[in-house]
Structure 1
Amino acid sequence: LQALPRVCRTGTHLFQFAEAVEAMRGWGRGLRRAVGAWYAAAPVEALALQAIKYRARQGWTHRDLLRLAHPETEEPARRALFDWICRGRLAEEVPTIVHAFAQVQADGIDGAVAAALIRSHGLPWEALPTGLMKSRAVNEALIERMPVGALVRQLGRLTAAGALAPFSEGTERVRTVLADRERLLKARLHPMALLLALKTYASGHGQRGQLAWEPVAAIVEALNAAFYTAFGAVEPTGRRLVLALDVSGSMAGSTVAGSGLTAREAAAAMALVTAASEERWQILGFTAEEGRPWNRGAALTPLAIGPSLRLDQAVAATADLPFGATDCSLPMRWALERGIEADAFVVYTDSETWAGPVHPVQALREYREKTGIRAKLVVVGLVSNGFSIADPADPGMLDVVGFDAAAPAVIADFLRG
């Protein structure tokens, strides 16, 4: 309970915690007091921003939690803020950002007026009604203060609204942000998040809905450069890793995470990130056995992918190869035959997961028994509709069904233990 303010740094975190409490235990006196302390201890201006930015998540609102916790305060501004959250009463003592929020929510507000309020009070985009999100003036104001992650996710919408165009002030600001190494690394965006954003933005349309835009070349190039800069934000696992990549033709015909990124590009990018961030790694491709026709037999061949390559070169290293079946037991068998000591095996494929003469579970157990290493296995189906390789009773095996910008961190955390 004492750790609650450190763990739940935003309103969204607090709502996630409340949902877990509701599902797993219930609301005791100590827990209510801890939630009340979260509201009583935060600086009142920061709390007001949280109340505006994260109004409802996970089926919870701040009103719900305040009524559960009943925090006590002698501060007029905090008391007025609680009253506004619970009853909607807008007293004079409430923080000024709340008054600004009430103004932008009013019917018929002009975009220029809303932009001025955004600049003077730091209103986040979550505070704005849907109608204002199409205003160029509003979006130009938002760009000035938008966090890096939110900016990257909204580039298409900002372009469609006219805030980003060739040679515009907004475009120059985006280029400056994406070129700021320190700011980019501080945002801790994984390179894959930037690559997915790059592919989506360059396509000129979202995968859902009807939003479309004309990509600005300068922003496409800035995203491309940021992809490589973000390698510095990847925390290495420190493990000895064997990566096995599906190199079949189908990898070029399927897309990942609702973007224009192919499974081949995603697998090559993850291999490139691993090579750039880890000290000990080996990258292999599932190829056909020597002397056999295409797509017959199964073997593993080292791929010429290293930290000095660019993404297009890494993709080329996985293309036009005589591909074999994606036998997920092969990496362990390959390592065992050669006496290679590895801490983890990671397979990247689209949706082709195949068990050959030995099941992957059995191959991993045999590798562990003969080497004495508690090796792990991760099978990533980048566009999979469903598969099951891992033994659910084995904490050292993980199936990743599908892929998005959050997947690399999940995989890395699993490898670290």
Structure 2
Amino acid sequence: MLNYGKLFSLRRTPQSEPLPRTVPNSAGGHVFALSDWARLDRFLVLGSEGGSYYAGERALSRENAVAVMLCIAEDGPRAVATIVAMSEAGRAPKQDPAIFALALAASAEAEATRRLALAALPRVCRTGTHLFKFAGAVEAMRGWGRALRRAVGDWYRVRPVEALAYQAVKYRARQGWSHRDLLRLAHPETDEPARKALFDWICRGTLTEETPALVHAFASVQAEGADGAFAAAQVRTHNLPWEALPTGLMTSRAVNEALIERMPVGALVRQLGRLTAAGALAPFTAATAHVVSVLSDRERLLKARLHPMALLVALRTYASGRGQRGRLSWEPVAAIVEALNAAFYTAFGNVEPTGRRLVLALDVSGSMSCGSVASSSLTPREAAAAMALVTAATEEHWQVLGFTAEPGQSWSQGAALTALPIGPSMRLDQAVAATDDLPFGGTDCSLPMRWALERGVRADAFVVYTDSETWAGPVHPAEALREYREKTGIPAKLVVVGLVSNGFSIADPEDAGMLDVVGFDTAAPALIADFIRG
């Protein structure tokens, strides 16, 4: 007899078929669409560099740009406030998406929105590089009208002179722009002798007595005949950044030791490999002790807005003993490796444990190994492992699983779950590596709930780390969660951690027990814990 109930059900719909309110994703499955505002949040944190497995960089960037513009058109002040808040809180690994979004807002049809966006320029574009990127982005959207010139001019007028001099010698030119280009476009006027002298040096290269001392120090180390000892003294006296030094002096141990003493946290983390290769960092030295002290200083890390992504990339690169590009290699200092590992967790801020029973499920499929998260060298698969480890390190009751293939079957056949050896006893880079070379299958995001139901596992919440480009499975995740709730009597929750800046989620936005969050947002772990706690 024909079993019609297996062919059609109101309670169990294959993920390749639609539910009410679902839309097709890029992989052929059906998922829930994010609102434009939720997509704005994803874009501001994750960006679209590198694209994804199913969507190229250009296509994904255009989709996100359209979503950002829709938010700006709907509520310009809210959009600008969101951009500024995300940027100032340091929740995103890179500023590029926020800068691009601000350029879109500065090009909006509504004059009030343009005015708000331009007023926010110094809050989002805090460095010379940020300003150069904004100039390139906004020029692609609009002309250089009076309001835009005034806003750029204000960036140079309002900043303290010494701070502006630091920007001038540290970020001399980027993205095809220089301070000279922008000053000639903006024509900022000033009555301050030191600021006027700084403008003259930027535009004409002239040095006078009024020119800030930092610029004189920069000129002196750039002069022919400057040696390491002289440059080290200038670094200590005037706080010269490493970008201000000639390449030939960067191998000097005296220079590097002086830089380590005064280098900002972000720059220090990025330079660890080079500094070790140059001999400035070695076991049991004062310089190494200083680096460990900096990385252990919670207040300093949070004040520097050093994103966990930067620390994870630095840890993976530094522990490997070689640069991602070029031939630079070094012998990692164990104390620095451990300090980077600890700093990763610190950078997320305080996360209070929930005391709940959590099932953490990682999408380790082929699509998760393509593209990058937030313009980094990390794939979504690696980022998922790192995010899961933050929760595992905080919570007491957890189980980490990976979506894999059934033994002996191909990726297109049996989907399964495999327990992953990921836990707080592992070092972060080792946990990230644990997701490599797994026999991934077609990701079925309903499996965590079905797995728990079949085994009698009593879970309070399921946390799925995915790109939502899923299609496999006999039932939608939302349906599987509701079935789990009905049969166990547990009001279980589902949190979906999105790791690609697309418009999809497996979380039903109309179910109060389901939540979609942006992966690698520094606020995500605390937000997940608050939601699970209720």
Aligned-residue Cα RMSD (Å) equals 4.8
Partner AA of 1:17 in structure 2? F
Higher mean C-alpha deviation, range 190-199 or range 103-112: 190-199
Partner of 2:414: 297
User: Which stretch of structure 1 is more off in the superposition, 145-154 or 215-224?
Assistant: 215-224
Over residues 226-257 of structure 1, what are the superposed CA-to-partner deviations in whole Å (9 max), with x where a residue is unaligned? 33444436899xxx9975325689x99xx999
Among 466, 470, 475, the residue aligned to 1:347: 466
Amino acid at match of 2:466: V
Shift of 1:148: 1.3
One of 272, 276, 283 as aligned partner of 1:166? 283
In structure 1, give the amino acid aligned to 2:256: N
The answer to whether structure 1 residue 142 and structure 2 residue 259 are counterparts is yes
Partner of residue 55, structure 1: 172
The answer (yes or no) to whether the contact 1:189–1:233 under 8 Å persists in 2 is no
Q: Which residue is equivalent to 1:327? A: 443
Aligned position for 2:88:
none
CA contact (8 A) 2:341 2:427 kept: no
How far off its partner does 1:269 sit? 2.4
AA partner of residue 408 (structure 1): F
Q: Distance in 2 between matches of 1:151 and 1:162?
A: 15
C-alpha displacement of 1:341? 9.9
Equivalent residue, structure 1, for 2:521: 409
Query: Per-residue CA shift, 1:156-185, capped at 9, x if unaligned?
Result: 111111211223221121122122232223
Deviation at 1:272, TM superposition (A): 1.0
> Once the two structures are superposed, what CA deviation does each residue of 1:17-44 show, in whole Å capped at 9, x if it has no partner?
2122201111111221121122111111
CA distance in 2 between partners of 1:217 and 1:321 (Å): 27
Instruction: Quote how far apart the aligned CAs of 1:138 are.
Output: 0.7
Distance in 2 (alpha carbons) for counterparts of 1:171 and 1:317: 26
- Which amino acid letter does the alignment assign opposite residue 465 of structure 2? V
Does residue 1:84 correspond to 2:196, yes or no? no
CA change 1:407–1:343 in 2 (3 A) is closer
Distance 1:150 1:313 in 2: 21
Q: Aligned equivalents of 1:90 and 1:317: distance in 2? A: 53
Tell which deviates more after alignment, 71-80 or 191-200.
191-200
What is the TM-score normalised by the length of structure 1? Answer: 0.73
Query: Using the alignment, how far apart are the partners of 2:428 and 2:177 within structure 1?
Result: 45
Q: Which moved more, 1:273-282 or 1:96-105?
A: 273-282
Q: d(CA) in 2 for partners of 1:193 and 1:11?
A: 20
Separation (CA, whole Å) in 2 of partners of 1:81 and 1:182: 33
For residue 111 of structure 1, what is the aligned residue in structure 2?
Answer: 228
The 1:246/1:42 distance shift into structure 2, 3 A limit, reads: closer
Deviation, 1:220, is 2.5
1:5-404 matches, within 5 Å, as 5-232=122-349, 243-246=360-363, 267-276=384-393, 283-288=400-405, 293=408, 297-300=414-417, 309-311=425-427, 315=431, 325-330=441-446, 334=450, 345-347=464-466, 355-356=471-472, 363=476, 380=499, 394=503, 396=505
Q: Deviations over 1:298-327 (max 9, x none)?
A: 134676866x55447994996899956142
Q: How far is 1:397 from its partner?
A: 7.9
Could you say if the C-alpha distance between residues 167 and 7 of structure 1 is closer, same or farther in structure 2, counting changes exceeding 3 Å? same
Question: What amino acid sits opposite 1:173 in the alignment?
Answer: H
Cα deviation, 1:336-389, whole Å, max 9, x if unaligned, reads: 99999989842279xxx874356xxx9479789999xxx9966658xxxxxxxx
Aligned to 1:387: none
Moved more, 198-207 or 78-87: 198-207
Moved more, 49-58 or 273-282: 273-282
Distance in 2 (alpha carbons) for counterparts of 1:278 and 1:63: 52
**TM-score, normalising length: structure 2:** 0.59
SS in 1 for 2:361: strand
Q: 1:164 to 1:54 in 2, by over 3 A?
A: same
Q: Retained in 2: the 8 A contact 1:52–1:127?
A: yes
* Partner AA of 2:206 in structure 1: R
| Deviation readout 1:81-106 (Å, 9 max, x if unpaired) | 11111111111111111100100111
Matched-pair identity in %: 65
Count of matched residue pairs: 381
Over 3 Å counting, the alpha-carbon distance change for 1:84 and 1:158 in structure 2 is same
5-14 or 134-143: bigger deviation: 5-14
Which runs of 5 or more residues in structure 1 are unaligned?
A: 382-389, 399-405
The alpha-carbon distance between structure 1 residues 317 and 222, as it changes in their structure 2 partners (threshold 3 A), is closer
Q: Give the Cα–Cα distance (whole angstroms) in 1 for the partners of residues 186 and 327 of structure 2.
A: 43
The amino acid of 2:389's aligned partner reads L
Shift of 1:60: 1.1
Q: Which amino acid aligns with 1:149?
A: G
Asked if the contact 1:331–1:345 (Cα under 8 Å) also holds between the matched residues in 2, the reply is: no
Higher relative contact order by CA 8 Å / sep ≥ 6: 1 or 2? 2
Amino acid at match of 2:443: D
CA distance in 1, matches of 2:192, 2:524: 44
Q: 1:276 to 1:376 in 2, by over 3 A?
A: closer
Which residue identity is paired with 1:141? A
* CA distance in structure 2 between the partners assigned to 1:197 and 1:86 by the alignment: 36
SS at match of 1:31: helix
Partner AA of 1:346 in structure 2: Y
